[in-house]
Amino acid sequence: MLFNSYIFIFLFLPITLVGFFSLTRFRFIQASVIWLTIASFVFYSYWNFFPPEGQTPTPHYFILIVLSVVMNHQIGQWITECKLKSKKAKTLLLIGTSLNLLLIGYYKYANFFLSSLQGLTGITLSLGQIVLPLGISFYTFTQIAYLVDAYRGETKNKSYDLLTYSLFVTFFPQLIAGPILRHDELIPQFYNLRNFIFNHKNFALGLATFIIGLSKKVLIADTISPWVALAFNNAESLNFTEAWVGALSYTLQLYFDFSGYSDMAIGLGLMFNIKLPINFDSPYKATSISDFWRRWHITLSNFLRDYLYIPLGGSRQGEFRRYLNLLITMLLGGLWHGAGWTYVIWGGLHGLFLSIHHAWRKLKMPLPKFLAWLITFLAVLLSWVLFRASRFSEAFDIIKTMLGMEGIILPVGNPNGKLSVLTALGINLKTWTEFPYLPTLFNQKSIAIFGLMLLTLCTLTLPNSQQIVTKLKPTWWWAIGIGLMASFSLLSLNKVSEFLYFQF
């Protein structure tokens, strides 16, 4: 079930909210937790039983997530009952982690590794088509983190019953695409009796945050989506301007799509008095690649740091090991995003960027703020091309065109006799009609490019969603503004539009 769908907004969400707070009103706390847990499983299962047109129903994936939840809860209980970091606890952790990795390895990576092996050996190996279970990367890694925390003793003296643990894993606002939560960020909120009392302020803030996220998704990201496809589907034919516009379009689409989902998740959580962690903090304002990863997909960055980079040794074993650990962490982070070598190399590229940044910091030669931002933004933008491309040749074609290796061609209204200085420098000028792969807005290519520049400026200068919501006041101006955003968004829900991170 999609957040940006009529069935979710007008049926599932109202029924779930009314049922939950009706039960809590009569102090049926346990029943309300059961209700919310069942609702979360229904939310997850809807896609499996009623997939979009053209996709195969996968009802058995409901059993898969149930088995995953029961298995990890039991192993976590066994680890908690063991002596802290004992051999038995370590063995149970290895078993639990291995089972989780086998699960995600089969569904997400099996055919990828077999096809890679086929490329090396020429032997044809395949398991047939494997449909990726929805949200498997998120709920699997959430539970691996839980097992590690249990091994570290962080769940000692805490009795997490199966019901509460199930709600922790499957709580529908964060189930499909995060944020990735730790047990101590969410489960204690389920034990706080205040959270079972309807809170008008939380509901208003949650609704506003949800609408802002919905607007990002359907009004901005979905509008840009065809522009991205236009460029990447014609990678070998693009010119300089078209390649840059295509790359910038994806840079903005991904941001507004995923940050929109995260805003909607936070908003939905607030409606139930649950505070989910912020996942985005104006990442394109970052002035270093480290700063970028502290702002982009924050919960994933924290997971990679706490459960991979630090256990590998972090920066405690010398500079060489620090750079190696960064590279390994980001390579695996890239692989987490998708079963493809483009994702792996994208992760490795960010590992290289991080290593260069840390090496530069040791020189104690800080760059001017604008230059630091520009280098960071361009590095991120170029790497997104690799992230989006379906194959290396596609990414290579776009990047080499962006670098001017295929010549520099710029659009003008009338190129004859204009800007002779530019033509003397080898920059070709052509009319707008000679740019077939530029997007149009209101039937004008120049307006589309202006729109992209304006959106970029907004991400760099305006407050983010969380900062906007903190200024929310019960005034007519706020009501009109949020109401207009909601109206335009609801009128745009005329087709199935999945979130980009659903595929991860």
Ramachandran area for residue 384 (φ above 0: left; ψ -120 to 50: alpha; else beta): alpha
- Joined tokens for residue 104: 């995600």
Q: Which residues pair with 444 in a beta bridge?
A: 441
- Joined tokens for residue 301: 């960055």
Alpha-carbon gap, residue 95 to 103, rounded angstroms = 12
Q: Is the dihedral of CA 372, 378, 382, 384 positive or negative?
A: positive
Catalytic residues: 337
Q: Among 411, 94, 111, which residue's Cα sits nearest to residue 241?
A: 411
Q: Is the dihedral of CA 185, 187, 188, 193 positive or negative?
A: positive
- Burial of residue 415 (number of CB atoms within 10 Å: 0-12, 13-18, 19+): middle
- What's phi and psi for 444, nearest 5 deg? -130, 125
Ramachandran area for residue 179 (φ above 0: left; ψ -120 to 50: alpha; else beta): beta
Alpha-carbon gap, residue 387 to 96, rounded angstroms = 31
Q: Among 268, 141, 152, which residue's Cα sits nearest to residue 209?
A: 268
Alpha-carbon gap, residue 31 to 229, rounded angstroms = 47
52, 496 Cβ separation under 8 angstroms: yes
Q: Among 325, 329, 308, 303, which residue's Cα sits nearest to residue 316?
A: 325
CA torsion, ordered 126, 128, 131, 136, to nearest 10 deg:
-30
- Joined tokens for residue 495: 């087709």
- DSSP letters, 3-31, are TTSHHIIIIIHHHHHHHHHHHHHTT-HHH
- Joined tokens for residue 490: 């609801």
**Residue type, position 460, single letter:** L
Q: Which pLDDT score, from 0 to 100, does residue 501 have?
A: 63
Q: Among 349, 362, 378, 383, which residue's Cα sits nearest to residue 288?
A: 378
Alpha-carbon gap, residue 190 to 128, rounded angstroms = 42
Neighbours of 27 (CB within 10 A): 12
Q: 3-state class of 293 per DSSP?
A: helix
Q: Which pLDDT score, from 0 to 100, does residue 397 have?
A: 94
∠ CA 500-503-504, nearest 5°, is 100
Rounded to whole angstroms, what are the CA distances from 222 to 28, 83, 279, 500? 41, 52, 20, 10
**Scanning the structure block, which residue is given the tokens 């990201």?**
221
Q: Which pLDDT score, from 0 to 100, does residue 49 have?
A: 84
- Joined tokens for residue 307: 């459960």
504 residues of the chain, pLDDT tens digit each: 788 889 999 999 999 999 999 999 999 999 999 999 999 999 999 888 887 777 778 888 899 999 999 999 999 999 999 998 899 999 999 999 999 999 999 888 888 888 877 777 777 777 777 788 888 888 999 999 999 999 999 988 777 899 999 999 999 999 888 788 899 999 999 999 999 999 999 999 999 999 999 999 999 999 999 999 999 999 999 999 999 999 999 999 999 999 999 999 999 999 999 999 999 999 999 999 999 999 999 999 999 999 999 999 888 888 888 999 999 999 999 998 888 899 999 999 999 999 999 999 988 889 999 999 999 999 999 999 999 998 999 999 999 999 999 889 888 877 665 555 666 667 788 888 889 999 999 999 999 999 999 999 999 999 999 899 888 888 888 889 999 999 999 988 876 666 776 655
Pairing verdict, β 408-411 and 427-430: parallel
Alpha-carbon gap, residue 117 to 213, rounded angstroms = 41
199, 275 Cβ separation under 8 angstroms: no
Q: Which pLDDT score, from 0 to 100, does residue 504 have?
A: 57
Q: Which pLDDT score, from 0 to 100, does residue 128 have?
A: 74
pTM: 0.91
Q: Which residues pair with 430 in a beta bridge?
A: 411
- Joined tokens for residue 203: 């509901």
Alpha-carbon gap, residue 472 to 207, rounded angstroms = 11
- Joined tokens for residue 167: 């709600």
Alpha-carbon gap, residue 381 to 244, rounded angstroms = 9
Q: 3-state class of 444 per DSSP?
A: strand
Neighbours of 110 (CB within 10 A): 17
